[in-house]
Structure 1
């Protein structure tokens, strides 16, 4: 687990599909860009859903259209997960993957960092570390981050990166759009990313660039702001090669997590109820955690296992 480099001078950042090979692994190419005169790819391991950034020159490469790439990798957990998300694209709220199938009882924790004037709710991270450090370290957590939040909270972001650097937590960074616009008046079908005039390419790619400039590694997951989307928007996101991830347990709404749940709380200081509920849930599981009967799962592994061998 190495620290992600900061790419400060990103140019020509764009969607690019293809096959890349560096013995013994086949990778799927999702993006290409230049930084300080060197050419880079964002690569995906379609078996494990892990991403990485690497120099283009290290790989044997075959450019492909999105259709060719998805067909080439059709038997992988990645492609099965994308297909599942597209099949669940009709509902206006909570399209995408809502749960995985972990080995034991446990959950995947996702915390959303939407734009907020309040500071990061650090209790989530200190409490999960303290609760799990004897049985699971680093503790996996997935954070849905917006471009605006990163811009407004550099110290909080640095604090999270330090926790990761110390191997206390391991973060999967989920793209949560750049602006996360929301209207208190507009109906859902014209709200969040469905707001007329939204530039979806900007919302997706500028967030990835902001992650890279801040030393974060973008994952292959995307979470819709407000969990609001329509079928057309879901397909726009999967055209970027990203897997929409929903939730079946938004704690602040009173939804109870089951085995394999993808749990949603807000870590941006705007939802203390959900955070309090999660901390109570942790406290109620102390004995199960100690016996390794209730664990936090890496979102990638949880989704990956769901689609292995299908």
Structure 2
């Protein structure tokens, strides 16, 4: 074996040793098991030459970890902090990467501007030839619609789907969450977890300008970070994407998401609202049991070919 081959094996071994991939939680774990959780922005270099951007630091089971992003692929992973040498990174340096551009461009996409709020701001259409399937798991008293996912698996092996998960949905539907994790582990689904806030506040009697995250007294930072902590506590990895409840936001909220180095995600084909998908559409359905109409329309559009294949991973959506 050549010296280069040995070096490659050594690098792979070091990368494997650095990865933090806990077994899926057998029962619900509290976000409090993820301690010292804080946003950062650091350029990091591993001993084997790998580069990454750290956006969060934390302690889990006595180990210091970092949530690392690949600034070009837009993927994330958890690794042991000791494996990396990191230094503070400027916002200007980040903007020179695909990740930085995706964050800033989504923050500058205002959607529909209303008095007191924004509607459907952020990334609403992707750059790929196929469509991007996203499903929101808002708090619900109904069970997960597993049939939607099995149809998705049949239509596209290792189907890519981005799930906007709220903390309260995970807390109250842990068995469904574990079922989804099992689908991911088996390779049947390629799931990307999108932060959809912890409480997903909503009161039907309130106007949109004072509802969802615009509800009086809501702490946007806690809504974002506690959802990430809950995912990590239960064995999964948050992505670089965030979706506002109801797709309702404001300029200050958009900037807050940007400060946490997340890409704001909207949709241009919320099926239950009658929006028609086109090539590159970010399709939105709700497989949390609350919106059967949208799931029926998804099945119809998938059968007709109106939803374009291949189903793209959301990481391919930003330019």
TM norm. shorter chain > 0.5: yes
Corresponding residue of 1:238: 258
Q: CA–CA distance in 2 between the matches of 1:143 and 1:154?
A: 15
Aligned pair count reads 289
Offset of 1:26 from its aligned partner?
A: 2.2
Corresponding residue of 2:155: 131
Offset of 1:75 from its aligned partner?
A: 2.0
Corresponding residue of 2:197: 177
Matched, 1:298 2:313: yes
Q: CA–CA distance in 1 between the matches of 2:44 and 2:219?
A: 30
Given candidates 75, 99, 105, the residue that maps to 2:125 is: 99
Q: CA–CA distance in 2 between the matches of 1:76 and 1:216?
A: 25
Q: CA–CA distance in 2 between the matches of 1:147 and 1:186?
A: 22
Q: CA–CA distance in 2 between the matches of 1:178 and 1:60?
A: 32
Q: CA–CA distance in 2 between the matches of 1:246 and 1:4?
A: 30
Corresponding residue of 2:285: 265
Task: Report which structure shows greater RCO (CA 8 Å, sep ≥6).
Answer: 1
Corresponding residue of 1:71: 92
Matched, 1:156 2:182: no
Corresponding residue of 1:82: 103
TM value normalised by structure 2: 0.87
Structure 1, unaligned runs of 5 or more: none
Offset of 1:20 from its aligned partner?
A: 0.6
Secondary structure in 2 matching 1:274:
helix
Contact 2:272 2:285 in 1 (8 A): yes
Corresponding residue of 2:216: 196
Q: CA–CA distance in 2 between the matches of 1:39 and 1:89?
A: 37
Secondary structure in 2 matching 1:264:
strand
Corresponding residue of 1:48: 73
Contact 1:174 1:223 in 2 (8 A): yes
Kindly report the root-mean-square deviation, in angstroms, between the aligned alpha carbons of the 2 structures.
1.9
Corresponding residue of 1:5: 22
Matched, 1:119 2:143: yes
Higher Cα Rg, which structure? 2
Matched, 1:36 2:61: yes
Secondary structure in 1 matching 2:131:
strand
Q: CA–CA distance in 2 between the matches of 1:76 and 1:264?
A: 27
Report the more deviating stretch, 249-258 or 10-19: 10-19
Offset of 1:4 from its aligned partner?
A: 4.0
Corresponding residue of 1:146: 166
Q: CA–CA distance in 2 between the matches of 1:16 and 1:272?
A: 40
CA 1:4–1:271 in structure 2 vs 1: closer, same or farther (change >3 Å)? Answer: farther
Secondary structure in 1 matching 2:232:
helix
Q: CA–CA distance in 2 between the matches of 1:107 and 1:235?
A: 27
Given candidates 246, 260, 283, the residue that maps to 1:226 is: 246
Q: Could you report, residue by residue, the CA deviation over 1:266-302 in whole angstroms, capped at 9, with x for unpaired residues?
A: 01000000000001111112xx99xxx7210000022
Structure 2, unaligned runs of 5 or more: 1-15
Contact 1:96 1:245 in 2 (8 A): yes
CA 1:3–1:271 in structure 2 vs 1: closer, same or farther (change >3 Å)? Answer: farther
Contact 1:3 1:165 in 2 (8 A): no
Offset of 1:83 from its aligned partner?
A: 1.4
Contact 1:4 1:217 in 2 (8 A): no
Offset of 1:73 from its aligned partner?
A: 2.3
Q: CA–CA distance in 1 between the matches of 2:237 and 2:22?
A: 9
Secondary structure in 2 matching 1:246:
coil
Q: Could you report, residue by residue, the CA deviation over 1:142-174 in whole angstroms, capped at 9, with x for unpaired residues?
A: 000000000000110011111111100010000
Q: CA–CA distance in 2 between the matches of 1:244 and 1:190?
A: 20
Contact 1:29 1:41 in 2 (8 A): yes
Q: CA–CA distance in 2 between the matches of 1:215 and 1:175?
A: 15
